[in-house]
Amino acid sequence: MRISRKAVSDGSAYSLAARLSPDSQGQTEGRGLGYSLRDIAEELGAQVHGDENCRIDRVATLADAGQGSISFLANRRYRPQLLSTRASAVILEAEFLSACPVAALVVANPYLGYARVAALLGPRQPVPQGVHPTAYVSDKARLHPSACIGPQAVVEDQASVGAGSYIGPGCLVDRGVSIGESCTLKANVTICHDVVIGDRALLHPGVVIGADGFGIANDGGVWVKVPQLGTVIIADDVEIGANTTIDRGALADTVIEDGVKLDNLIQIGHNVRIGAHTAIAAGVAIGGSAIIGKRCTIGGAASVAGHLEIADDVHLTATSAVPNTISEPGLYSSGMPIQDNRTWRKNVIRMRQLDEMAKRLRKLEKKLDEK
Protein backbone atom coordinates (compact mmCIF):
# COMPACT_ATOMS: atom_id res chain seq x y z
CA MET A 1 0.00 0.00 0.00
CA ARG A 2 1.30 3.40 -0.97
CA ILE A 3 -0.10 6.76 0.04
CA SER A 4 -0.26 9.19 -2.87
CA ARG A 5 1.99 12.19 -2.69
CA LYS A 6 0.26 15.57 -2.81
CA ALA A 7 1.63 19.05 -3.23
CA VAL A 8 1.84 21.36 -0.22
CA SER A 9 -1.42 23.26 -0.14
CA ASP A 10 -0.33 26.60 1.25
CA GLY A 11 3.18 27.08 -0.11
CA SER A 12 6.20 26.92 2.16
CA ALA A 13 8.44 29.73 3.31
CA TYR A 14 11.00 28.55 0.78
CA SER A 15 8.58 29.17 -2.08
CA LEU A 16 7.64 32.49 -0.45
CA ALA A 17 11.26 33.58 -0.62
CA ALA A 18 11.49 32.44 -4.21
CA ARG A 19 8.38 34.35 -5.26
CA LEU A 20 9.54 37.64 -3.82
CA SER A 21 11.41 39.41 -6.58
CA PRO A 22 15.01 40.55 -6.09
CA ASP A 23 13.77 44.13 -6.44
CA SER A 24 11.54 43.69 -3.40
CA GLN A 25 14.40 42.49 -1.23
CA GLY A 26 16.87 44.93 0.24
CA GLN A 27 19.80 45.19 2.57
CA THR A 28 18.93 45.84 6.20
CA GLU A 29 21.82 47.48 7.98
CA GLY A 30 24.18 44.84 9.30
CA ARG A 31 21.65 42.03 8.80
CA GLY A 32 21.78 41.01 5.13
CA LEU A 33 18.64 40.55 3.05
CA GLY A 34 15.33 41.71 4.44
CA TYR A 35 11.78 42.15 3.21
CA SER A 36 9.47 45.10 3.17
CA LEU A 37 6.42 44.86 5.40
CA ARG A 38 4.28 45.26 2.27
CA ASP A 39 5.81 42.19 0.64
CA ILE A 40 5.33 40.09 3.76
CA ALA A 41 1.73 41.29 4.09
CA GLU A 42 0.92 40.34 0.51
CA GLU A 43 2.25 36.84 0.98
CA LEU A 44 0.45 36.31 4.30
CA GLY A 45 -2.78 37.88 3.13
CA ALA A 46 -2.50 40.39 5.99
CA GLN A 47 -3.70 43.98 6.29
CA VAL A 48 -0.91 46.52 6.79
CA HIS A 49 -1.28 49.35 9.29
CA GLY A 50 1.57 51.83 9.43
CA ASP A 51 4.75 52.09 7.36
CA GLU A 52 4.46 49.40 4.70
CA ASN A 53 7.97 50.17 3.43
CA CYS A 54 9.79 49.42 6.68
CA ARG A 55 12.37 46.66 6.35
CA ILE A 56 12.05 43.43 8.32
CA ASP A 57 14.99 41.04 8.66
CA ARG A 58 14.36 39.02 11.83
CA VAL A 59 11.73 37.86 14.32
CA ALA A 60 11.82 38.51 18.06
CA THR A 61 9.63 38.51 21.14
CA LEU A 62 7.66 41.62 22.02
CA ALA A 63 10.00 42.28 24.96
CA ASP A 64 13.28 41.76 23.09
CA ALA A 65 12.47 43.20 19.67
CA GLY A 66 14.29 46.16 18.18
CA GLN A 67 14.59 48.00 14.89
CA GLY A 68 14.12 45.64 11.94
CA SER A 69 12.33 43.02 14.04
CA ILE A 70 8.84 41.68 13.63
CA SER A 71 7.04 40.20 16.61
CA PHE A 72 3.58 38.75 17.25
CA LEU A 73 0.81 38.75 19.83
CA ALA A 74 -1.06 35.45 20.02
CA ASN A 75 -1.84 35.41 23.74
CA ARG A 76 -3.62 38.31 25.45
CA ARG A 77 -1.49 37.79 28.57
CA TYR A 78 1.35 39.49 26.68
CA ARG A 79 -0.68 42.59 25.86
CA PRO A 80 1.30 44.74 28.35
CA GLN A 81 4.47 43.92 26.38
CA LEU A 82 2.77 45.10 23.20
CA LEU A 83 2.33 48.58 24.64
CA SER A 84 6.09 49.01 25.12
CA THR A 85 7.52 46.96 22.28
CA ARG A 86 10.30 48.43 20.13
CA ALA A 87 9.65 46.10 17.18
CA SER A 88 9.31 47.58 13.72
CA ALA A 89 6.06 45.65 13.27
CA VAL A 90 3.79 43.24 15.13
CA ILE A 91 1.55 40.48 13.80
CA LEU A 92 -1.77 40.55 15.68
CA GLU A 93 -5.54 40.27 15.54
CA ALA A 94 -7.72 43.27 14.78
CA GLU A 95 -8.92 43.62 18.38
CA PHE A 96 -5.41 44.56 19.54
CA LEU A 97 -4.65 47.03 16.75
CA SER A 98 -5.59 50.13 18.75
CA ALA A 99 -3.05 49.18 21.44
CA CYS A 100 -0.16 48.68 19.02
CA PRO A 101 2.38 51.54 19.04
CA VAL A 102 4.18 50.42 15.85
CA ALA A 103 3.28 49.14 12.39
CA ALA A 104 1.10 46.04 12.36
CA LEU A 105 0.04 43.12 10.20
CA VAL A 106 -3.53 42.14 11.01
CA VAL A 107 -4.34 38.46 10.50
CA ALA A 108 -6.88 35.97 11.84
CA ASN A 109 -4.19 33.67 13.29
CA PRO A 110 -1.12 35.59 14.53
CA TYR A 111 0.75 32.46 15.63
CA LEU A 112 0.43 30.96 12.16
CA GLY A 113 1.58 34.26 10.65
CA TYR A 114 4.58 34.27 12.98
CA ALA A 115 5.44 30.69 11.99
CA ARG A 116 5.48 31.56 8.29
CA VAL A 117 7.52 34.72 8.75
CA ALA A 118 9.97 32.94 11.06
CA ALA A 119 10.50 30.26 8.43
CA LEU A 120 11.09 32.95 5.82
CA LEU A 121 13.55 35.01 7.86
CA GLY A 122 15.29 32.23 9.80
CA PRO A 123 18.73 31.00 8.78
CA ARG A 124 18.75 28.28 6.14
CA GLN A 125 21.87 26.24 5.71
CA PRO A 126 22.54 25.17 2.13
CA VAL A 127 22.26 21.40 1.74
CA PRO A 128 25.45 19.93 0.25
CA GLN A 129 25.27 17.33 -2.46
CA GLY A 130 27.04 14.03 -2.88
CA VAL A 131 28.30 11.27 -0.63
CA HIS A 132 30.68 11.86 2.27
CA PRO A 133 33.90 9.78 2.01
CA THR A 134 33.09 7.95 5.27
CA ALA A 135 29.54 6.99 4.23
CA TYR A 136 28.63 3.58 2.81
CA VAL A 137 26.25 3.47 -0.14
CA SER A 138 25.46 0.14 -1.77
CA ASP A 139 26.04 -0.16 -5.49
CA LYS A 140 22.46 -1.35 -5.67
CA ALA A 141 21.04 1.77 -4.01
CA ARG A 142 19.52 4.63 -6.04
CA LEU A 143 20.47 8.17 -5.14
CA HIS A 144 19.29 11.31 -6.90
CA PRO A 145 22.32 13.40 -7.92
CA SER A 146 21.14 16.25 -5.68
CA ALA A 147 20.81 14.06 -2.58
CA CYS A 148 23.38 14.24 0.22
CA ILE A 149 24.66 11.34 2.33
CA GLY A 150 26.47 12.51 5.45
CA PRO A 151 29.44 11.14 7.41
CA GLN A 152 29.23 7.46 8.43
CA ALA A 153 25.70 7.09 7.09
CA VAL A 154 24.70 3.76 5.54
CA VAL A 155 22.40 3.24 2.54
CA GLU A 156 21.73 -0.42 1.81
CA ASP A 157 20.69 -2.46 -1.25
CA GLN A 158 17.60 -1.38 -3.22
CA ALA A 159 17.16 1.72 -1.07
CA SER A 160 16.31 4.97 -2.86
CA VAL A 161 16.81 8.60 -1.82
CA GLY A 162 14.99 11.34 -3.71
CA ALA A 163 16.01 14.74 -5.04
CA GLY A 164 17.26 17.25 -2.49
CA SER A 165 17.06 14.84 0.44
CA TYR A 166 19.66 14.88 3.20
CA ILE A 167 20.71 11.78 5.14
CA GLY A 168 22.59 13.00 8.22
CA PRO A 169 25.60 11.60 10.09
CA GLY A 170 25.28 8.05 11.36
CA CYS A 171 21.89 7.35 9.77
CA LEU A 172 20.88 3.89 8.56
CA VAL A 173 18.70 3.59 5.47
CA ASP A 174 18.11 -0.15 5.31
CA ARG A 175 17.44 -2.34 2.29
CA GLY A 176 14.41 -1.52 0.19
CA VAL A 177 13.68 1.79 1.92
CA SER A 178 12.16 4.53 -0.24
CA ILE A 179 12.74 8.17 0.78
CA GLY A 180 11.08 10.89 -1.26
CA GLU A 181 12.17 14.37 -2.26
CA SER A 182 13.41 17.17 0.02
CA CYS A 183 13.48 15.01 3.13
CA THR A 184 15.81 15.68 6.06
CA LEU A 185 17.07 12.96 8.36
CA LYS A 186 19.07 14.41 11.22
CA ALA A 187 21.85 12.45 12.96
CA ASN A 188 21.49 8.77 13.90
CA VAL A 189 18.08 8.14 12.39
CA THR A 190 17.32 4.47 11.70
CA ILE A 191 14.97 3.53 8.87
CA CYS A 192 14.45 -0.24 8.84
CA HIS A 193 13.90 -2.37 5.75
CA ASP A 194 11.17 -1.60 3.21
CA VAL A 195 9.84 1.53 4.94
CA VAL A 196 8.32 4.13 2.60
CA ILE A 197 8.69 7.86 3.35
CA GLY A 198 7.05 10.53 1.21
CA ASP A 199 8.26 14.03 0.34
CA ARG A 200 9.45 16.80 2.67
CA ALA A 201 9.68 14.62 5.78
CA LEU A 202 11.71 15.93 8.73
CA LEU A 203 13.07 13.30 11.11
CA HIS A 204 14.96 14.50 14.18
CA PRO A 205 17.91 12.72 15.84
CA GLY A 206 17.40 9.22 17.14
CA VAL A 207 14.14 8.46 15.33
CA VAL A 208 13.57 4.75 14.63
CA ILE A 209 11.07 3.81 11.92
CA GLY A 210 10.13 0.21 11.19
CA ALA A 211 11.48 -1.73 14.16
CA ASP A 212 9.50 -4.88 14.98
CA GLY A 213 6.16 -4.38 16.69
CA PHE A 214 5.58 -5.96 20.09
CA GLY A 215 4.04 -9.19 18.87
CA ILE A 216 4.34 -12.24 21.14
CA ALA A 217 2.22 -15.38 21.66
CA ASN A 218 2.11 -17.39 24.87
CA ASP A 219 2.99 -21.06 24.73
CA GLY A 220 2.43 -22.50 28.18
CA GLY A 221 4.05 -19.59 29.97
CA VAL A 222 6.79 -19.10 27.38
CA TRP A 223 6.65 -16.13 25.03
CA VAL A 224 7.04 -16.85 21.31
CA LYS A 225 7.86 -14.02 18.90
CA VAL A 226 5.28 -13.28 16.21
CA PRO A 227 7.00 -12.24 12.95
CA GLN A 228 6.28 -8.66 11.94
CA LEU A 229 5.72 -8.85 8.20
CA GLY A 230 4.30 -5.42 7.39
CA THR A 231 6.13 -2.13 7.04
CA VAL A 232 5.61 1.59 7.77
CA ILE A 233 4.18 4.05 5.25
CA ILE A 234 4.82 7.73 5.99
CA ALA A 235 3.13 10.27 3.71
CA ASP A 236 4.16 13.82 2.80
CA ASP A 237 5.08 16.74 5.08
CA VAL A 238 5.41 14.62 8.22
CA GLU A 239 7.67 15.73 11.09
CA ILE A 240 8.89 13.23 13.68
CA GLY A 241 10.60 14.35 16.89
CA ALA A 242 13.77 13.07 18.51
CA ASN A 243 13.81 9.47 19.75
CA THR A 244 10.28 8.76 18.60
CA THR A 245 9.68 5.18 17.44
CA ILE A 246 7.14 3.85 14.95
CA ASP A 247 6.82 0.05 14.74
CA ARG A 248 6.28 -1.86 11.52
CA GLY A 249 3.01 -3.69 11.00
CA ALA A 250 2.48 -7.33 11.85
CA LEU A 251 0.64 -8.17 8.61
CA ALA A 252 -0.79 -4.89 7.27
CA ASP A 253 1.22 -1.66 7.46
CA THR A 254 1.56 1.09 10.03
CA VAL A 255 0.45 4.30 8.29
CA ILE A 256 1.20 7.95 9.10
CA GLU A 257 -0.84 10.22 6.81
CA ASP A 258 -0.07 13.65 5.30
CA GLY A 259 1.04 16.49 7.54
CA VAL A 260 1.17 14.57 10.83
CA LYS A 261 3.41 16.23 13.45
CA LEU A 262 4.94 14.05 16.16
CA ASP A 263 6.89 15.37 19.14
CA ASN A 264 9.81 13.69 20.92
CA LEU A 265 9.74 10.33 22.70
CA ILE A 266 6.48 9.00 21.26
CA GLN A 267 5.83 5.26 20.90
CA ILE A 268 3.54 4.18 18.06
CA GLY A 269 2.72 0.48 17.98
CA HIS A 270 2.32 -1.85 15.02
CA ASN A 271 -0.57 -1.41 12.59
CA VAL A 272 -1.50 2.01 13.98
CA ARG A 273 -2.97 4.49 11.54
CA ILE A 274 -2.73 8.23 12.26
CA GLY A 275 -4.94 10.52 10.19
CA ALA A 276 -3.78 13.54 8.23
CA HIS A 277 -2.72 16.70 10.09
CA THR A 278 -2.94 15.18 13.56
CA ALA A 279 -0.43 16.55 16.11
CA ILE A 280 0.84 14.51 19.06
CA ALA A 281 2.90 15.91 21.97
CA ALA A 282 5.83 14.27 23.74
CA GLY A 283 5.65 11.07 25.74
CA VAL A 284 2.48 9.67 24.18
CA ALA A 285 2.08 5.88 23.80
CA ILE A 286 -0.30 4.44 21.20
CA GLY A 287 -1.08 0.72 21.35
CA GLY A 288 -1.06 -1.56 18.34
CA SER A 289 -3.85 -1.40 15.74
CA ALA A 290 -5.32 1.84 17.12
CA ILE A 291 -6.76 4.19 14.50
CA ILE A 292 -6.41 7.92 15.15
CA GLY A 293 -8.53 10.26 13.06
CA LYS A 294 -7.65 13.35 11.08
CA ARG A 295 -6.87 16.73 12.66
CA CYS A 296 -6.68 15.33 16.18
CA THR A 297 -4.43 16.67 18.91
CA ILE A 298 -3.08 14.50 21.73
CA GLY A 299 -1.48 16.15 24.77
CA GLY A 300 1.77 15.07 26.36
CA ALA A 301 2.06 11.74 28.22
CA ALA A 302 -1.39 10.57 27.09
CA SER A 303 -1.93 6.89 26.38
CA VAL A 304 -4.18 5.26 23.81
CA ALA A 305 -5.01 1.57 24.16
CA GLY A 306 -4.70 -0.74 21.18
CA HIS A 307 -7.47 -1.91 18.85
CA LEU A 308 -9.68 1.16 19.27
CA GLU A 309 -10.68 4.09 17.06
CA ILE A 310 -10.58 7.82 17.69
CA ALA A 311 -12.79 9.95 15.45
CA ASP A 312 -11.64 12.95 13.42
CA ASP A 313 -11.20 16.25 15.29
CA VAL A 314 -10.80 14.72 18.75
CA HIS A 315 -8.59 16.60 21.22
CA LEU A 316 -7.09 14.85 24.25
CA THR A 317 -5.60 16.89 27.07
CA ALA A 318 -2.26 15.95 28.65
CA THR A 319 -1.99 12.63 30.56
CA SER A 320 -5.37 11.42 29.32
CA ALA A 321 -5.82 7.64 29.22
CA VAL A 322 -8.05 6.30 26.44
CA PRO A 323 -9.25 2.72 27.04
CA ASN A 324 -12.23 2.78 24.66
CA THR A 325 -13.22 4.02 21.21
CA ILE A 326 -14.12 7.72 20.87
CA SER A 327 -16.71 8.10 18.14
CA GLU A 328 -17.57 11.81 18.41
CA PRO A 329 -15.32 14.85 17.89
CA GLY A 330 -14.63 17.11 20.85
CA LEU A 331 -12.36 17.76 23.83
CA TYR A 332 -11.69 14.86 26.21
CA SER A 333 -9.77 14.65 29.48
CA SER A 334 -8.94 12.14 32.20
CA GLY A 335 -6.55 11.90 35.12
CA MET A 336 -6.48 13.82 38.37
CA PRO A 337 -4.95 17.31 38.46
CA ILE A 338 -2.10 17.86 40.91
CA GLN A 339 -2.97 18.79 44.52
CA ASP A 340 -1.19 18.92 47.84
CA ASN A 341 -0.22 15.51 49.15
CA ARG A 342 -2.49 15.60 52.20
CA THR A 343 -5.57 16.26 50.09
CA TRP A 344 -4.53 13.67 47.52
CA ARG A 345 -4.13 10.96 50.18
CA LYS A 346 -7.62 11.70 51.55
CA ASN A 347 -9.10 11.54 48.05
CA VAL A 348 -7.38 8.23 47.31
CA ILE A 349 -8.94 6.77 50.46
CA ARG A 350 -12.35 8.07 49.41
CA MET A 351 -11.91 6.54 45.96
CA ARG A 352 -11.21 3.14 47.54
CA GLN A 353 -14.44 3.49 49.48
CA LEU A 354 -16.60 4.42 46.48
CA ASP A 355 -17.77 0.87 45.74
CA GLU A 356 -18.89 0.25 49.32
CA MET A 357 -20.56 3.66 49.45
CA ALA A 358 -22.40 2.91 46.20
CA LYS A 359 -23.71 -0.38 47.60
CA ARG A 360 -24.97 1.35 50.74
CA LEU A 361 -26.63 4.05 48.64
CA ARG A 362 -28.47 1.44 46.55
CA LYS A 363 -29.75 -0.23 49.71
CA LEU A 364 -31.05 3.09 51.03
CA GLU A 365 -32.74 3.87 47.72
CA LYS A 366 -34.36 0.46 47.70
CA LYS A 367 -35.75 0.99 51.22
CA LEU A 368 -37.14 4.38 50.22
CA ASP A 369 -38.78 2.89 47.15
CA GLU A 370 -40.48 0.23 49.32
CA LYS A 371 -42.12 2.81 51.57
> Which amino acids are annotated catalytic?
270
Rounded CA gap, 70 and 59, in Å? 5
Other residues' Cβ atoms within 10 Å of the Cβ of residue 186:
20
Residue 203: strand pairing partners: 185, 240
What pairing do the DSSP bridges indicate for beta strands 303-304 and 25-28? unpaired
Contact 296, 313 (CB under 8 A): yes
- CB atoms near residue 312 (< 10 Å): 15
State the amino acid at position 6 in one-letter form: K
Helix (H, G, I), strand (E, B) or coil at 281: coil
Beta partners for residue 72, in sequence order: 91
Handedness of CA 249, 298, 323, 353 (dihedral sign): positive
Distance from C-alpha of 172 to C-alpha of 154, rounded to nearest angstrom:
5
Nearest Cα to Cα of residue 314 among 280, 354, 359, 282: 280
Sign, Cα dihedral of 113, 115, 118, 123: negative
Instruction: Evaluate whether 255 touches 3 at the Cβ level (below 8 Å).
Output: yes
- Cα dist. 122→12, 89, 109, 125, 228 in Å? 13, 17, 20, 10, 42
| 160 in Cβ contact with 141 (< 8 Å) | yes
